[in-house]
Amino acid sequence: MKRLLLPLCLLACVAIFQSGCKTGASIIVTGLRVELTGIERTADGATTVNWRVVNPNVAPYLIGHSSHKIFLNGTLVGTVAEKNAMAVPAQTNVNATGGLVVAGAEAEKLLASLARQGPASYRVESNVLVIIYGDTEEKGDFVTSGSVSVTTK
C-alpha cells in the first residue's frame, strides 16, 4: 500500500499543476461579443452589414482579424470578414462596416423579403484572432444573437 501512495500523490500533483497552468482563448475573449446594428441592401444587390464589437472587460483588445457567419431567422445569409486590425478599448464598443458575401440565391430572397418585413432575429458565429502583447495570438470563437433591421437604400 505504501508503494502506491507516492505515485498517486505525484500523479495528483501533476494533474493539479496542469489544470492551473492552462490559458486559452476562452479566457481571453470572455465577455467579448459582436452585435449586428443594421443590414442595408442597395439597388444594385450589394449588402452591407453594420456591426460592433462590445468589450465589457477592463482590459483592451487588439483583434488581428475576424470572420462572422450571419444567420437571419435561422438561415445562413452570408459571411463578413474584417482583415484589418481593430483596437477595442476597455469597457467600450467599436463600430465596423463590412460587405456581406451572400450565401446564395435563397439567402438573396430571404434578405429581400426581410427588407420589406422589418426586424429579424439574428445569430452571429464569430471567429476572432486576438493579439496579446504584440506577438502572441489567441483564437476565439463565440456566438451572439439578437434582432436587427434589414433596410433597402
Place of cell 449586428: 36
Residue 7 lies in a domain: no
Full residue range of the structural domain in which residue 98 is found: 25-152
Judge whether 32 and 54 are in contact, CB under 8 Å: yes
Residue 6 lies in a domain: no
Neighbouring C-beta atoms of residue 69, cutoff 10 Å: 16
CATH number for 58: 2.60.40.10
Give residue 24's pLDDT.
45
Give residue 36's pLDDT.
96
Residue 95 lies in a domain: yes
32-77 per-position pLDDT tens digit: 899 999 999 988 879 999 999 999 988 888 998 999 999 999 999 9
Residue 117 lies in a domain: yes
Average pLDDT over residues 27-35: 79
Instruction: Kindly state the percentage of the chain with pLDDT values over 90.
Output: 54
Q: 33: which DSSP letter?
A: E
Torsion from C-alpha of 9, 15, 19, 21, nearest 10 degrees: 80
Counted domains in the chain: 1
Residue 103 lies in a domain: yes
